[in-house]
Structure 1
Amino acid sequence: MWILILIINVAGFLNIAEGIGPSGNCTLLPKGERSFPQNFSFGVSTSAYQIEGSWNADGKGPSIWDEFCHNHPDNILDRTNGDIAANSYRRFDLDLEALRDLKVNHYRFSISWTRIYPSGDISSKNQKGIDYYNNVINQLIANGIQPMVTMFHYDLPIELQKLGGLTNELFIDQFVTYADELFKNFGDRVKTWITFNEPVRFCKPGYGTGRDPPQIKASGIGDYLCIANILKSHAAAYHLYRSKYFDEQHGKVGISLDTSYFFSKSNDNELVYRSLQYNLGILAHPIYSKSGGFPEVMVKEIERNSLQEGRLKSRLPSLEGKWKDLIRGSGDFLALNHYTSKYVERSPQPLGDNPSMQRDYDTIETVDENWLQAHSYWLNCVPEGMEMLLNFIRDEYNNIEVIITENGWSDSGEIEDNNRIVYLKSYIQAVLNAINDGCNVTAYSVWSFIDNFEWIQGYTDKFGLYSVNMISPERQRSPKKSARFYRQIIETRKIPNV
């Protein structure tokens, strides 16, 4: 039965993919209307640990990233941390000035769980943390900028990790209690909520390979448990909002998922479809598909692999029963983080540790050496992928509303950041092309607003539209050339010819 379902889905996907491939020149021709709709929202994104600093100020508790950077500095490329970062906790006035200058419609930022609950639990409620975010939200709204809030962007409270973190189902109730606090304090003004940012990017290195905090090495098991608990936590928070707050606050709740797009040199569209399911569908299918649950191809393949390993059941947790029904439909929009594309091909032999997510995926990803490459080794400019991905989401998930929460380019910090302009122009054109193709895309956010701490890359990768003087106590912000370019798009709602 599952083979028939896959054939039907791939057949639909072929209608999208046929005849389109990456040109390799980081440009994309416009089609249809040349202007964005008047109600389309342009903004920028950041996250708390990456910009706030003040890691232990005003009652804030430690997160797993505080502990990781302090105790394992060798794991950060430049041995730095987020203790001060861009100092946004102390200098939000500088952020606000730059946001006003950009003329953004929205600002997507995250709340630090350990500023609200220093120990992760309601018993440690910290009013100073609530006051800080109330001030941020109030100042944004006073300046005509809509707050778009992410609840969890990697910085798990240490005390929750001591209980098993995201591999313990206790996390579901802990997250719902935290979400309730946020809805109660900020929901009268915040109308767009994102529960989690990029779950796979947190679960796989955090609970699978152990590369990132909390450094749990439980490959092919812990990472899947983490993903399942995030899906359950997200759904529980979504239903809490709908039952307790929606009638008064009238906001919406979604989750940020990330994926590359995939191309096949051999036109193996079934493999492209499978790759999208393993990378996006692992979270999107349970929430946004009509059938719910994990993608059928993953369910069958991981069960087969698990039995071959001598296990009695699949390593992929079951989402059947009440959880399947609670998770399905628990998203008012899909928040999308997308940066780049890859070529995929079938692996001639098993890859990765046994077991592991990599071994289950068992696909080789490559890039074209002619694609323009950013400072980040993994990031190339392939704008066709953005357009194709949005069309895929339109057809696969009943044209759910899409809010693009991250898209951006890294360099070494140049003020004359011409390659970032080339990248942004082509990707924003891809978004407009997709809108002209009927895709329900309502917002776009550049990652990132300002240069920040880029996790294990430290401060070596610069993604910001604004440069931050990281050696000055004032942490001055300076607009790059791309900031002026992006402001022009926001003001005119058109993509300039540059």
Structure 2
Amino acid sequence: MFPPDFAWGAATAAYQIEGGWQADGKGPSIWDTFCREKGRVFEDQNGDLACNSYELWEKDLACIQQLGLTHYRLSLSWARLLPDGTSQNVNQRGVQYYNKVIDDLLASDVSPMVTLYHFDLPQALQDQGGWKSPDIAALFDNYAKFCFQTFGDRVKLWITINEPYVCAKLGHEDGIHAPGLKDKGIAPYVVGHNMLRAHAMAWHSYSSTYRAKQKGAVSLAINSDWFEPLDPGCNEDIAAAQRAIAFTLGWFAWPVFVTGDYPEVMKSAIDAQSDKLGYNGTSRLPRFSSDDPTILGTADFFALNYYTSRKVTPRGSCEHTLSMKSDQDTEEVLDPSWPICGVSWLAVVPYGLRKLLKYIKDTLGNPAVYITENGFSQVGPLQMKDVQRCEFYKSTISEVAKAVQEDGVNVRGYFAWSLMDNFEWADGFSVRFGLFHVDFSDAALDRTIYQSGQEYAKMISKNKSGQSKM
């Protein structure tokens, strides 16, 4: 059994489901631009239409009601609300759309968790330097204040930024997410730094102006795998696992929850590599200054996106190249006993979530935790009777229950990724994470529940009924 007020949710993101990319005054985002560059996305697909949730919201709401969710995590499209990225130009049709979504959820007794930024920066701001520019923090803060003012009377759970690690590394070092840059070893740290500054400014704005009246909670969603040493008896492997978690979860969790600064393991690794590359004492990892907002304490809960785990060992090479990978000096290994679901990187390791939850409790001061994303993908032939995914959800939620009951982790909610099949970033529509299947070959874009969706609904119902007897 989970606590009576446990949040049972599913999650989505605006660019992945909404479509309506030019509808009613919406401005372009970096993902609109990225998808138009040949070879960036599977079969050059894009999110122009996606699930067409902009026009078919009632179908989404019916799916939410069918599952019996208590919470629904959605993101706002910054470019739909503020087409040029600034509150000088408000798109009222975008405001009306999100007002309807929020009001319909509440009328259905479903609480919204709203993400302000889920990868889709307005292109107008990218043209001014995007997340590499220090000015972006104040621009984001103004956007956040607009959203708090407009929707905060009804929204009680806010996520400022989703997965800053992914935006920084995949978007600015690897080049496989928008904006598609490959500025290795420098840009990702600058981007991560500016995202932390932006998050902190927004959190302080909420606390000083809106919290007393709106009584909500604000955090940022941090993604992390669980990392453990390839050989638990090998000191080098233990150190490598510590570096791996410092460079992912620690990169953003340490400044917010622990010290107000980056992990020492991360700082020393980057500085050591910088010295080898001739930087002469100049760090590539930006330092927080007295002009920056206070970072420490700027989260009212821990929002965790977890998908998989890795065994870790040192790379074993003396590579002196400029990249995050060289700085981290780790090699990630898949345990052959872990089943792979769909995409090659996604090994199914439910126990890794429990271990990561306990790590968060033990190292970050036992915060309240919402698991804001967790899911299982399908590729290839469609399986509506997705037995493996059913088993995945049962096993994973069982591990979360153990974390709550046996490890004493303060888990407040679980959000499955995703409510429905959608545009899965660079994988386009080839990868399906949904609890509902969406038929993208048909103009009606009908949503049909998978067996896993039915099983998830049963788990939610069982826990609700169990709670009513407590």
**Shorter-chain TM-score: what band?**
over 0.9
CA distance in 1, matches of 2:451, 2:173: 40
Aligned partners of 1:55, 1:66: CA distance in 2, in Å?
A: 8
After the TM superposition, which of the residue ranges 353-362 and 248-257 deviates more from structure 2?
353-362
- Superposed CA deviations along residues 316-347 of structure 1, whole A, max 9, x for unmatched, are 00125453x71000000111000110110111
Partner AA of 1:114 in structure 2 = A
Q: What does residue 45 of structure 1 align with? A: 11
Cα distance in 2 between the residues matched to 1:190 and 1:201? 26
| Contact 1:286–1:293 under 8 Å retained in 2 | yes
Equivalent position of 2:304 in the other structure: 336
Cross-structure match for 1:207: 172
1:291-370 alignment, distance < 5 Å: 291-312=259-280, 313-321=282-290, 323=292, 326-350=294-318, 354-370=321-337
Show the counterpart of 1:407. 374
TM-score (structure 2 length as normaliser): 0.95
**Counterpart of 1:111?**
76
Change (3 A) 1:266 1:320: farther
Cross-structure match for 2:430: 460
Query: What does residue 22 of structure 1 align with?
Result: none
1:64 corresponds in structure 2 to 30
Please tell me whether residue 179 in structure 1 is matched to residue 144 in structure 2: yes
Question: 1:82-481 maps to which residues of 2 (within 5 A)?
Answer: 82-267=47-232, 268-289=237-258, 291-312=259-280, 313-321=282-290, 323=292, 326-350=294-318, 354-412=321-379, 413-436=382-405, 437-481=407-451
Cα distance in 1 between the residues matched to 2:298 and 2:143: 18
Residue in structure 2 matched with residue 26 of structure 1 by the alignment: none
Measure the CA separation in 2 of the matches of 1:348 and 1:84: 46
Give, in angstroms, the shift of residue 216 of structure 1: 2.1
Unaligned runs of 5+ in 2: none
Q: 1:229 is aligned with what amino acid?
A: N
Cα distance in 1 for partners of 2:276, 2:173 equals: 20
The Cα offsets for residues 297-325 of structure 1, whole Å up to 9 and x where unpaired, read as 111121121122121410000125453x7
Q: Matches of 2:256 and 2:196 in 1, distance apart?
A: 8
Question: 1:460 Cα deviation (Å)?
Answer: 0.6
Alignment correspondent of 2:455: 485
Task: Tell me how far 1:422 sits from its aligned partner.
Answer: 1.1
Structure 2 distance, partners of 1:320, 1:428, is 41
**Deviation string, structure 1 residues 31-82 (Cα, Å, up to 9, x no partner):** xxxx11111111000000000001000000000100111233x221222110
Deviation, structure 1 residue 206: 1.5
Q: Distance in 1 between matches of 2:240 and 2:404?
A: 26
Q: Which has the higher contact order (CA 8 A, sep 6+)?
A: 1
Supply the distance in 1 between the matched residues of 2:388 and 2:329 (Cα, whole angstroms).
Answer: 33
CA contact 2:36–2:44 (8 Å) conserved in 1: no
Q: Is the 8 A contact 1:425 1:495 kept in 2?
A: no
Whether the 8 Å contact between 1:489 and 1:495 is mirrored in structure 2 is: no
Gaps of 5+ in 1: 1-34
Amino acid of the structure 2 residue aligned with 1:327: I
| Post-superposition offset of 1:361 | 0.8
- Measured after TM superposition, the shift of residue 221 of structure 1 is 0.5
**Cα RMSD (Å) of the superposition?**
1.5
What secondary structure is seen at the aligned counterpart in 2 of 1:326?
coil
Q: SS state of the match for residue 23, structure 2?
A: coil
1:471-492 residue CA offsets vs partner (Å, 9 max, x unmatched): 2222110000001100111111
The CA distance in 2 between the partners of 1:378 and 1:137, in whole Å, is 34
Letter paired with 2:36: H
Q: TM-score, normalised by structure 1?
A: 0.90
Is the 2:230–2:333 Cα contact (8 Å) retained in structure 1?
no
**What is the one-letter code of the residue matched to 1:164?**
G
> Sequence identity of aligned pairs in percent?
40
Question: 1:215: Cα distance to partner?
Answer: 2.0
In the TM superposition, residue 208 of structure 1 has moved relative to its aligned partner by 1.6
C-alpha offsets along residues 166-223 of structure 1, whole Å, 9 cap, x if unaligned? 0101101100010011000000000000001111111112222323221222111011
Provide closer, same or farther for how the CA distance between residues 105 and 288 of structure 1 changes in structure 2, counting only shifts above 3 A: same
1:78/1:459 contact within 8 Å kept: no
- Rounded Cα–Cα distance in structure 1 between residues aligned with 2:323 and 2:369: 30
2:20 to 25, 44, 54: 54
* Counterpart Cα distance in 2 of 1:361 and 1:305: 9
CA separation in 2, counterparts of 1:71 and 1:298?
A: 34
CA distance in 1, matches of 2:224, 2:435: 22
Which SS does the other structure have where 2:311 is aligned?
strand
Aligned equivalents of 2:449 and 2:23: distance in 1? 28
Q: Does 187-196 or 428-437 show the bigger shift?
A: 428-437
